[in-house]
Structure 1
Amino acid sequence: MGKETKKGTKGPNSKYITRTKAIRKLQISLNDFRRLCILKGIVPREPPSRKKANHGNSAPTSFYHIKDIAFLAHEPVIQKLRDHKIFLRRMSRAMGKQEWGRAKALEENRPTYKLDHIVKERYPTFIDAIRDLDDAICCVVLGASLSQHRRIPKADLEDCARLSAEWQLYVTHTRALKKTFLSIKGIYYQAEVMGETVTWVAPYQFMQKIPMDVDFRVMRSFLEFYKTLLGFAFYKLYSDAGLVYPPPLDLKKDAMGGGVDAYRLQPVGGPTSSMDVDAKVNGNKKKKVDLGDGKVLTSKQVQKTIAAMEVEDEEEEGEASAPLDDALPSTEEFIPQPSKTSATDPSSSNLITLHALANLPTSTSRSTKIFEPYVFFISRESPRHILEFVVKSFGGVVGWPITCGSGSPIENEDDERVTHVIIDRPLPDPMSEVDKERRRKKKYVQPQWVVDCVNAGKILLENAYAQGKTLPPHLSPFNAEGDGAYDPLAPEEDEDFNMAPPQPEEKSKKRHRRGKKAAAAAAATAAALQVSNPTDADAVRKAELEAERLGIEPAEFDKVLEKAAATNQGGEEGESEGASEENMAKMLLSSKKRKLYNLMKRTNARKEDEKVRLQQKKIEIAKQKKRTGV
């Protein structure tokens, strides 16, 4: 007879333990356990049976897989957390005894730890890290907008502001921004980095109120990991783009409110990239150097001399290496080889090679250059940080008043180089001659025009977005196509509503008579459709009286009645058949999946009702505008 197995030690439910048991097994506190789970990416698991996994106890609790807990037990950070507790205990004792020398020595040897190895564990490849940048950037951007508070260290806020600026600089430089949306929650952005989409939301530039019901220790644990992750990712992205990381900071501009513009993108071994922007704004001004005796040296002459020197050097190198070049092939061509595993693994025939990656088209497309021919001036009431980021990401040049911060290449809207003025205040009443002259030379648009141009991928007409006008609907570019959602730009489905201009009186009367006859025929058809059973004499008689009152011919009514009865009968059979099949399918589902299915049906019905309501509201608004002549 075999040994008796103890209950609860085998089976799928025995692989899960509660959070309390996990903490006892690791011998750490609850706060340290939460921090470790956040850093290592460990999440609670759902056992097959919560009651069996908890040995008959049905109290709500969190379960973890025993392999995850064993994975945490070998983490070196645990020992650092224990050393930190010992440090706090010794520091408290030294401070209590007023041993200031010992306290200073302890502070200088405070235990610290790094998270580099955890980043490498969680993201074996760089693409995996790019796919997980959404939450990291959202957290960093949110931290950059917060004000200093006792619950949030100042160093964390400064790191968030720096990382947020570095991300915006990279997106602007590589023209990676694709979509943006101004919502109530904030500004949604979506960029494409190395073929992966990164979506994040940034709050508006308002004073943020620090909530008291948020556990900032948990938030700081996330932020601690995200800072390390973004440091790795940004260094790789900047290096691939040929830029110095971290980008140098102009302390003078930063002190004067320069914001992101206080950072400068510097190529590796080259001058700062800000020279390109300055050259574009200043036009084709030639820099001159006075050599004395009436001689002047221009930048164009210097460039020609350097180009001639480079050509001579190439010719000399070509003559020196000619025999070696003749012996070797000029270019190394890629020779495709058949895959040895293609017969067993069909997916191996589509492997990406280095030659294919080298021939990929660049990410800079025509839609990322839509603002290149224009120079924008942002008025003081418009959100400068949002518009500056969006416009620069699509090739435009931006200026703003000196009161909004330093570093602006254009500080006056009367500058001749300005083509568009982004303004968000009503028209002056009355308008002076100076304002009229400005509007004849420049386009005055509201901020939504910039975002709608980006989402459309082209320059839209400025008249609909002019200063003081009611803006068109601002649609989200993130909605999936074909999901049946309400589209404000779709044509109205109501046949009775006609937006045609008024007709002469005779045509109006004829159309009214035709409409009356059509309405009568529709009413008769509706009455006939209510007759589900042609043998029901009372129902048929009521339908006949209704048709006679409306002036419908008996022969026409009989045809409609036959068709309606056949349709109703077939419809009822089809509905009963479909309902029975749906009920049978629902019976085969589990309880959890059945609830999800019912929730999905209710959600779809609610979306459909909302769509109908919005369409009806749109029709009513259009009718009101037609009546009032607006």
Structure 2
Amino acid sequence: MGRIKKKFTEGSSRTYTTRNRALRKLQVSLSDFRRLCILKGIYPVEPRSQKKANRGSSKPTTFYYAKDIQLLLSEPLIDKFREHKVFLRKLQRALGKDDLTRAKGLEARRPEYTLDHLVIERYPTFVDALHDLDDALCMVFLFATMPAVDQVNNEAVEDCKRLSTEFMHYVIHSHSLRKVFLSIKGIYYQAEIQGQSITWIVPYQFSQNVPLDVDFKVMSTFLRFYRTLLGFVNYRLYTMSNLTYPPKVDQLMDDSAAGLGSLRIESRRVEDLIKGVQSTDSDDTNAPEVAMSKQMKQRMDTLGSKIKKIVAATAEDTISSVPAYEAVGSSGEADIDDDARQTNSLLFAKQVFFLSREVPRYSLEFVIRAFGGRLGWDQTSGGGSPYAENDNSITVQISDRPVQGHQFLNRIYVQPQWVYDSINARRLLEVDDYLIGQPPPAHLSPFVEYAEGDYVPEAASKLAAAAGFEGEVTNLKPEDRDQAEDEEEDEEDVADIDGASADEDALDSDDEEEEEDEDAIAEKQHQKQLLAERAGVSFSEYQQKQGAKPKAGKAAAGKKRSKAEVEEEERQKIAISMLSKKKRKVVNRTQADADKKAKDVNTFKTRKAQAAAKSKKKN
């Protein structure tokens, strides 16, 4: 006789666990459990069968992996949370007895905890941390612009401002910025750091009203982990670039609203590194194996001069390899090589900008300096400007007003969009379309990739033609989508199957037809095909005699199709009908998406033609 198995000891009931069972196992409150899951990166899961996972109960609940809950048992943060609860209980008791001396002593010994071990645990390599940095940057930049209210801690806001400014300085120093897009939500940036594309959004610096329906407790938990993560990343990036971290803050410049200029980014001196090594070795003079010989000391003394010579030679090679850009008002034929990152970073290397008081200085200063440009700004925008408005070295002044009163003859006046469009186009665009007082061209998103059949705006076609693109405009960028691979596989399956014609109703992807049993529909189609063969006519003629309606969008109105086209269409239909149910749904869904896409493109073209006709009538 075999061994009797107990219920709920294997299968889904053992793989998954409910939230209530997890709380009882960990002996923590619901709020602490949420904090633990956020900090450890544990999220709810959806089992295939909730009834089996919930041990026969069909009551809706939240499930987690049992292994994740088992991992939380050894988390040291649970002990820290319990210590904090004991501290709050003692503090409340002391305040209830008006024992202020004991309350002050307890407050001085408030238990604190760090999240350093969680960053190392969740991101074993630095590339993993960079790959998951998008959400952290978005959260940190969001709270950096938040006002100090009851729901938001002032210390957290100041820390977010410091971390965001340090990261922006590294992007400027490494010239790793690639794309910028101004949207309604905010300003999107994309930087490439160690082969990883990092995209984040920065809100506009307007006065914000803190919403009351947002759970700031959950957001503060995420923010605390993201602050720790970004601190680790900034430290690693600065040390890899031989920069001192944290950078020094010039208090006078910071008080005068100097922005990015308030931080002093300095390189670590070789002499300091050598002194640190020598001081470390001198502490262990008793150990004979660590004692430094005279020859080694001489080499260490001459190391600084040799490194300086290497750095100077490298700088000369870098300057000599910089390509010459044309003037701002040129035809814009100076293209930038995609493979040369150094060329991309020196887009504004020969330009000196001046920012008027009405333009967004916090964004323009970042992007211009990230591409090698120099700039000054109006005194009302903040102190610390290296250039005055009447400086003769200024070549471009950025203004966003209808009319520019006083103008200097030795510079060009453009709108701020010229800077962003030039960055996305990776070349200096013509300034004729961005002059003061005239509507600029459409600001296109650099994150959109146009595939074959997509609607391409006129501005994108002009940029492609100016960049020397040859070929169809609809293929501006290669299609890199997972859906394309699925479509190719479905087309291959369809091409390998031959047979008679099928009913057109099986090709529809409407919601009502998806609910019907497709096996029964296929049987009806087969019966109709047999009737058409018995009558000795093609299936399309048999449908017309029966009064079947042709599918919309397949046959063009007023245009007679050839016999070959009709036979090809019927062959594809019967091939689709002979596929499996799963593949047939994929083909129908793909065809429906293609039809919708074509309809949208035709709508855009019609609107464009109507707008052009109206403008001609007005002229």
Instruction: Name the TM-score, length of structure 1 as normaliser.
Output: 0.70
The 8 Å contact of residues 95 and 103 in structure 1, kept in 2 or not, is answered as yes
* SS in structure 2 at match of 1:200: strand
The 8 Å contact of residues 454 and 601 in structure 2, kept in 1 or not, is answered as yes
The whole-number CA distance in structure 2 between the counterparts of 1:605 and 1:12 is 42
The whole-number CA distance in structure 1 between the counterparts of 2:573 and 2:2 is 58
Q: 5+ unaligned residues in a row in structure 1: which ranges?
A: 272-312, 322-360, 493-531, 538-556
2:442 alignment counterpart: 473
- C-alpha spacing 1:234/1:85, structure 2 compared with 1 (3 Å): same
Indicate which of 378, 396, 400 corresponds to 2:355. Answer: 378
CA displacement at 1:209 relative to structure 2? 1.6
1:89 alignment counterpart: 89
The whole-number CA distance in structure 2 between the counterparts of 1:247 and 1:406 is 20
Counterpart of 1:612, as a letter, is: N
Deviations 1:419-468, CA, capped at 9 Å, x for gaps: 1111111025xx6xx44xx2x42111111110010011110000011111
* SS in structure 1 at match of 2:264: coil
* SS in structure 2 at match of 1:377: strand
1:415 aligns with 2:391: yes
* SS in structure 2 at match of 1:625: helix
1:406 aligns with 2:383: yes
1:488 aligns with 2:457: yes
- C-alpha spacing 1:112/1:64, structure 2 compared with 1 (3 Å): same
2:610 alignment counterpart: 620
Deviations 1:231-250, CA, capped at 9 Å, x for gaps: 11111100111111111111
The whole-number CA distance in structure 1 between the counterparts of 2:235 and 2:95 is 41
What does residue range 352-501 of structure 1 map to in structure 2 within 5 Å? 364-412=341-389, 414-427=390-403, 434-435=406-407, 438=408, 440-482=409-451, 484-489=453-458
- C-alpha spacing 1:125/1:588, structure 2 compared with 1 (3 Å): same
1:122 aligns with 2:122: yes
- C-alpha spacing 1:159/1:605, structure 2 compared with 1 (3 Å): farther
2:170 alignment counterpart: 170
Deviations 1:467-508, CA, capped at 9 Å, x for gaps: 11121111111113426432103679xxxxxxxxxxxxxxxx
The 8 Å contact of residues 186 and 203 in structure 2, kept in 1 or not, is answered as yes
1:283 alignment counterpart: none
Counterpart of 2:433, as a letter, is: A
Deviations 1:334-354, CA, capped at 9 Å, x for gaps: xxxxxxxxxxxxxxxxxxxxx
1:258 alignment counterpart: 258
The whole-number CA distance in structure 2 between the counterparts of 1:36 and 1:23 is 11
2:519 alignment counterpart: none
The 8 Å contact of residues 189 and 201 in structure 1, kept in 2 or not, is answered as yes
The whole-number CA distance in structure 2 between the counterparts of 1:405 and 1:486 is 43
The whole-number CA distance in structure 1 between the counterparts of 2:4 and 2:367 is 70
2:580 alignment counterpart: 585
* SS in structure 1 at match of 2:64: strand
The 8 Å contact of residues 450 and 456 in structure 2, kept in 1 or not, is answered as no
The 8 Å contact of residues 15 and 65 in structure 2, kept in 1 or not, is answered as yes
What does residue range 178-193 of structure 1 map to in structure 2 within 5 Å? 178-193=178-193
The whole-number CA distance in structure 2 between the counterparts of 1:124 and 1:228 is 15
Instruction: Name the TM-score, length of structure 2 as normaliser.
Output: 0.71
Q: 5+ unaligned residues in a row in structure 2: which ranges?
A: 272-297, 307-337, 463-539, 546-557
Counterpart of 1:479, as a letter, is: V
CA displacement at 1:259 relative to structure 2? 2.1
- C-alpha spacing 1:587/1:229, structure 2 compared with 1 (3 Å): closer
- C-alpha spacing 1:24/1:269, structure 2 compared with 1 (3 Å): same
Deviations 1:362-401, CA, capped at 9 Å, x for gaps: 9742121110101111111110001110000001111111
The whole-number CA distance in structure 2 between the counterparts of 1:601 and 1:30 is 47
Seq. identity, %: 45
- C-alpha spacing 1:35/1:579, structure 2 compared with 1 (3 Å): same
* SS in structure 2 at match of 1:168: helix
The 8 Å contact of residues 13 and 49 in structure 1, kept in 2 or not, is answered as no
Which deviates more, 90-99 or 467-476?
Answer: 467-476
The whole-number CA distance in structure 2 between the counterparts of 1:81 and 1:176 is 41
- C-alpha spacing 1:213/1:262, structure 2 compared with 1 (3 Å): same
The whole-number CA distance in structure 1 between the counterparts of 2:194 and 2:243 is 16
Counterpart of 1:366, as a letter, is: T
The whole-number CA distance in structure 1 between the counterparts of 2:79 and 2:595 is 54
What does residue range 20-35 of structure 1 map to in structure 2 within 5 Å? 20-35=20-35
Deviations 1:142-193, CA, capped at 9 Å, x for gaps: 0001111101110000000000100110000110100111111111100011
The 8 Å contact of residues 171 and 191 in structure 1, kept in 2 or not, is answered as yes
The whole-number CA distance in structure 1 between the counterparts of 2:348 and 2:186 is 24
2:78 alignment counterpart: 78
The 8 Å contact of residues 426 and 467 in structure 1, kept in 2 or not, is answered as yes
1:574 aligns with 2:571: yes
* SS in structure 2 at match of 1:199: strand
Which deviates more, 403-412 or 598-607?
Answer: 598-607
The 8 Å contact of residues 13 and 48 in structure 1, kept in 2 or not, is answered as no
The whole-number CA distance in structure 2 between the counterparts of 1:368 and 1:16 is 51
CA displacement at 1:252 relative to structure 2? 1.3
- C-alpha spacing 1:408/1:602, structure 2 compared with 1 (3 Å): farther
1:2 alignment counterpart: 2
1:228 aligns with 2:228: yes
2:18 alignment counterpart: 18
The whole-number CA distance in structure 1 between the counterparts of 2:592 and 2:141 is 36
CA displacement at 1:624 relative to structure 2? 2.8
The whole-number CA distance in structure 1 between the counterparts of 2:51 and 2:370 is 55
Counterpart of 1:426, as a letter, is: P
CA displacement at 1:578 relative to structure 2? 4.3
The whole-number CA distance in structure 2 between the counterparts of 1:121 and 1:206 is 38
The whole-number CA distance in structure 2 between the counterparts of 1:391 and 1:615 is 36
* SS in structure 1 at match of 2:124: coil
* SS in structure 2 at match of 1:198: strand
- C-alpha spacing 1:369/1:533, structure 2 compared with 1 (3 Å): same
Deviations 1:513-567, CA, capped at 9 Å, x for gaps: xxxxxxxxxxxxxxxxxxx769x99xxxxxxxxxxxxxxxxxxx9xx97xx3514
Deviations 1:100-120, CA, capped at 9 Å, x for gaps: 111111111111111111111
The whole-number CA distance in structure 1 between the counterparts of 2:431 and 2:55 is 69
2:482 alignment counterpart: none
What does residue range 261-280 of structure 1 map to in structure 2 within 5 Å? 261-269=261-269
* SS in structure 1 at match of 2:380: helix
Which deviates more, 403-412 or 443-452?
Answer: 403-412
